[in-house]
Structure 1
Amino acid sequence: MNKTYTLFWFRRDLRLFDNAGLFNALKHEENVLPVFIFDTEILKKLPAIDLRVQFIHETVAELKKQLQKRKSDLVVEHGSPIEVYKKLLEKYPIKAIYTNHDYEPYARTRDEKIAKLCAAKKVEFKTFKDQAIFEKSEIVTDQENPYTVFTPYKNKWLKALSPFYLKSYPVELYESNFTKIKPSAMPSLKSLGFEAQDFTFPEPTVSASLLKNYAKTRDFPELDHGTSHLGLHLRFGTVSIRELAREAKKFSDVWLSELAWRDFFMQILWHYPHVEKQSFKPQYDKIAWRESKSELELWKTGQTGYPLVDAGMRELNATGYMHNRVRMVTASFLAKHLLHYWYEGERYFAEKLLDYDLAANNGNWQWAASTGCDAAPYFRIFNPESQIERFDPDYEYVKKWVPEYNTAKYVKPMVEHKFARERALAAFKKGLKK
């Protein structure tokens, strides 16, 4: 009998352990050949220096090494997924393609095309839940509608959180089903069109002490140990969401709640894909949002004259990271103080954040701008000064990123808080009456 292959397609799940789709492929099939595609549909929109691509490249190279130790390999391709799969289906006698679910609009369209191609070739295309604890319509109201308010969603999410959903997939039991294949080279970062930077990525570790203290420390941006820095690893699946949820359940209800928020925003994006570019609540698109390239540039470069906003934007530009409390303040400032449409800021974060995730970034921006589901009411407008008094009282974080603060060199506030607040309230009231 001729040898046939089953492909496992790595995407947002770049690990060999506790991987749902990989486990199912290895358990049910033989000659499992792992594949990764550097997707030109995504890469062509990115600048030549993009640390996320560098992180993926380093991670894929490590995966390749691990598979070669098992006498197998990772086939690394560069191109449009549909064209890559046309080529692979010609090259190998393929029985099935296994992968994990992705919930973003682009990914859904991509997967529909691949599924159609597979159906035409009589190849099975199987996908599994891996990057969420609960997905799609697993947590719905008693009327079987998607939740659009977080607290009742979280309550049902917690109630449903039995050990079954937190169990790891023991991939290691079936590793003998990886196909044996000669090692192949992978494309260099340069050949993909990107420049390598001297940068050390955060390790995917989370300690019991961090989780135990998380509720007390998470809002203080100067405390580097106060948050987990796991966003990047969650985004690309180098950690297991089930393992993290088990740890959170042991040590921190607050951190567990953050994982519930992550699932919540994923199911919002799944059920309401229009939120990618439009407000969740359509009436908020009627507000007379202001446009000013010069104002947007001052916000982007951390020159607003509001030290906490400026510190956050400078941290983002320098490191690809921004503390979560500061993300709320900077987002609120752009949407409320400057009255710019939230999408402008969401796109800038999408360009700069190492841990950029469409569902979470979009959900949090719309929350801050009051345009989303379960958003902060529009009259809730953060005062950036009182936020410093509460969360950076000694100005440690501010002084780190805005060293000229409190000197003649520091810029004056670009807009006065009271005026900006009243202007925002008036614009929201007027827009929502239409």
Structure 2
Amino acid sequence: MQKEKIAVFWFRRDLRLHDNAGFYRALKSGLPVLPLFIFDKAILDQLDNKEDKRVTFIYQVIADLKKKLGKLDSDMEVKYGFPADIWKELLINYDIGEVYTNHDYEPYAQDRDGEIGALLIENGAEFKTFKDQVIFEKQEVLTGQNTVYTVFTPYSKAWRAKLNDFYLSSYPTEKYFSKLYKTKTQEIPTLKEMGFLETDHDFPSDEVRSSLIENYEATRNYPAIPGTSRIGIHLRFGTVSIRDLARKALEKSGTWLNELIWRDFYHQILWNFPQVGEGKAFRAEYDNIRWRNNEAEFKLWCEGKTGYPLVDAGMHQLNETGFMHNRVRMVTASFLTKHLLIDWRWGEAYFAAKLLDFDMASNNGGWQWAAGSGTDAAPYFRIFNPTAQAEKFDKKGEYIKKWVLELNSLNYPAPIVDHKFARERCLQAYKEALTKG
């Protein structure tokens, strides 16, 4: 019996049915569309924590998507394994004419998509990918000389100048749900079968209050105030539409829109300068820095035992919740790289393991910004004073008291390094590195 020719939409960082670019184009392809999600063993095998909250989040989102698709007389194929093996199996089980998905800009994803694209073409199927997780990507925003922007402020001005309704328009996927492949409920691999345990965690809402966006400029720097959106995990896994958020930001707050522009900026940096995703400094000369890389001090930083209350509060918040306030992220990152002279890659990897909203482009961009090795136009001798930062942004100590319970007790450690000494040591180390050659 001849199989029905179908299209497959491969969900990755776009876990929603609404306003999904690749999904929309699949539904308009003329072929019945089978939704697919792969729990990628190559990614999961690298997670040491088998109670990783992000895996639970994805699992819950996939289960919810399956329910929604079930109400549309369709379903989602959910697989666990290496993508190439899964696709070989799917090509046997289905007559696949076209595969649709959305761009992923990370180095591993690029290699994976190259391999899968070649496999599909070899088996007579087309592989089509689309922009979805950013407003502008790759080389859509260029300088007057047609070069890539490497400094944020001029990039953001050009970004705003290029923006129009076309880039903010949603893809009306709902109109074409009748094109979904009609199939019965498929079994989903359990977390236990994949080697993970479900975590009990209250994940942030995917709703962003208008009042929060309107007051964002005034509240965003104060960690004791719930003045940030906590939308990062939803942007990371695509459970919200970037276009919906950008429209709302444009209407309510230029400052909050700026945060979305930063996200686009770092994604285009990762795409155009892939070496940053492979452990290299954006500014190559910063790879000459002689890092101290004291493992005992790194451990104290990880555990929030540096003797600097704002740094320790941030690390406690991160370790307990998978989130850290953005102002405090800058302070903790600066402290590790500048006060302790520990390689920014160590901190980047620690944040990557802990943050619910971990995104390679933004995480790398933020850490290189803190270390001075990235795209930022400011000189390397910007070194945050953690005490001054606490006095300015947590004047009453509310944030610190919440996360550093041992403060003012005999158990609280003395500072592991003197600020003035650390600053001078850092400046000397950077100066030596940057005057080489």
Q: TM-score range by the shorter chain?
A: over 0.9
**1:387-426 maps to which residues of 2 (within 5 A)?**
387-426=389-428
Report what 2:339 is aligned to.
Answer: 337
- Is residue 135 from structure 1 mapped to residue 137 from structure 2 by the alignment? yes
CA–CA distance in 1 between the matches of 2:251 and 2:184?
A: 44
User: Does structure 2 retain, via aligned residues, the 8 Å contact 1:366–1:375?
Assistant: no
CA contact (8 A) 1:367 1:376 kept: no
Aligned to 1:368: 370
Give, in whole Å, the separation in 2 of the partners of 1:342 and 1:312.
Answer: 17
1:208 maps to 210
1:52 aligns with one of 46, 51, 54: 54
Alignment of 1:31 onto 2:32: yes
Equivalent in the alignment of 2:258 = 257
Q: Report the TM-score, using the length of structure 2 for normalisation.
A: 0.98
Distance apart, 1:180 and its partner CA: 0.5
Pick from 72, 75, 78 the counterpart of residue 73 of structure 1.
75
Structure 2 unaligned runs (5+)? none
Residue 23 of structure 2 is matched in structure 1 by 22
Candidates 216, 219, 227, aligned match of 1:217:
219
Structure 1 residues 391, 69: CA separation in 2 closer, same or farther (over 3 Å shift)?
A: same
Determine helix, strand or coil for the equivalent of 1:256. helix
Alpha-carbon deviations, 1:23-64, whole Å to 9, x = none?
Answer: 000012321000000000000011211000110000001001
1:331-350 superposed Cα distances (whole Å, 9 cap, x missing partner): 00000000011000000000
CA distance in 1, matches of 2:189, 2:124: 30
Give the C-alpha shift of residue 2 in structure 1. Answer: 5.2
**Alignment counterpart, residue 103 of structure 1, candidates 102, 105, 113:** 105
CA contact (8 A) 1:368 1:375 kept: no
The corresponding residue for 1:85 is 87
Counterpart in the other structure of 2:195: 193
- Displacement of 1:196: 1.1
Residue 13 (structure 1) aligns with: 14
Alignment of 1:293-308 (within 5 A): 293-308=295-310
User: Structure 1 pair 2/36, CA: closer, same or farther in 2 (3 Å)?
Assistant: closer
Per-residue CA shift, 1:89-108, capped at 9, x if unaligned?
Answer: 11100000000000000000
1:148 aligns with 2:150: yes
What is the aligned partner in structure 1 of residue 160 from structure 2?
158
1:409 Cα deviation after fit: 2.2
Counterpart-to-counterpart distance in 2, 1:141 and 1:192: 46
Runs in 1 of length 4+ with deviation above 3 angstroms? none
Aligned to 1:382: 384
| Identity percentage of aligned residues | 57
**1:378 Cα deviation (Å)?**
1.0
On the 8 A contact 2:3/2:94 being kept in 1, the answer is no
Count of matched residue pairs? 433
Q: Shift of the alpha carbon at 1:75?
A: 0.2
Is residue 286 from structure 1 mapped to residue 263 from structure 2 by the alignment? no
Distance in 1 of aligned mates of 2:357 and 2:201: 15
Q: Could you tell me the TM-score, scaled by structure 1's length?
A: 0.99
Matches within 5 A, 1:314-353: 314-353=316-355
Tell me how far apart the structure 1 counterparts of residues 223 and 381 of structure 2 sit (CA, whole Å): 25
Pair 1:354-2:356 in alignment = yes
RMSD over aligned Cα atoms: 0.9
After alignment, is 107-116 or 24-33 more displaced? Answer: 24-33
Q: Which moved more, 1:36-45 or 1:199-208?
A: 199-208
